[in-house]
Amino acid sequence: MTNIILLGPPGAGKGTQAKRLVDERGMVQLSTGDMLREAQTSGTEMGKRVAEVMNRGDLVTDEIVIGLIREKLDNPSGGGFIFDGFPRTLKQADALGALLAQTGQSLDAVIEMQVDDAALVARITGRFTCGNCGEVYHDVTRPTKVAGTCDVCGSTKLKRRADDNEESLKTRLMEYYKKTSPLIGYYYAKGQLSTVDGLAEMDEVAGAIAKVLDKS
Ligand code: AMP
């Protein structure tokens, strides 16, 4: 069983690569962003509380996201977990280490997906997904074959995230550099960090990630 973190700025391709690992290796994706968006859609109290913070591009509190992850780790997955968008602060990283230790699990690799900032704006502002199966598309680089219809499942429920706009992205990038990028040094010092070029072709990125996984 291999548990990994995908680390990188918004738009680095963490979600896309996580979905491949789910399909190809039977791993379980734990995306705190997806969990928070689900809480919004289902209209829970917590979902309502975080909506404005998320739309602005700020981080929600450590307590909320650590609570979401704690629930999931109680049921270890045979295929291993992919932490996608978590941890995002040093406090979350410490909490993840403690939670894994408490449940007899380990963290096997942290993969930093490196992408330069100029590419992120273009990637994020064209992004849309299928509301049914979660497939990720892009207006320019990966449009659907038939406009308005998902290539994979045929659904017409295509949607854009409320925070995938230039204004929110500025805040999300600032949050990343202020609060999340210190995790690169944190995991490097622990001897757990590997780096892949997130700007390479999708298959090449997947290959580089597979190499890290097969070594760990
Ligand atoms: P993502 O889907 O990972 O880009 O996350 C979308 C938004 O959810 C972020 O901009 C934050 O507002 C919130 N969020 C997701 N994961 C975390 C986290 N680990 N810590 C704090 N906020 C988070």
The predicted-structure confidence for 69-94, as pLDDT tens digits, reads as follows 999 998 777 789 999 999 999 999 99
Residue 132 has pLDDT above 90, yes or no: yes
CB-ligand 1 contact for 33 (6 Å cutoff): yes
CB-ligand 1 contact for 53 (6 Å cutoff): yes
- For the segment 18-28, the average pLDDT, to the nearest whole number, is 94
pLDDT at 216: 81
Phi/psi at 91 (5° precision) = -60, -40
Closest by CA position to 70, among listed 34, 29, 99: 99
CA distance 50 to 11: 21
Query: pTM for this structure?
Result: 0.93
- State in Å: Cα 39 to ligand 1 middle: 13
For residue 142, the number of C-alpha atoms closer than 13 Å in the C-beta half-sphere is 18
Which pair of tokens denotes residue 74? 């109680």
Residue nearest atom 2 of ligand 1, based on CA coordinates: 33
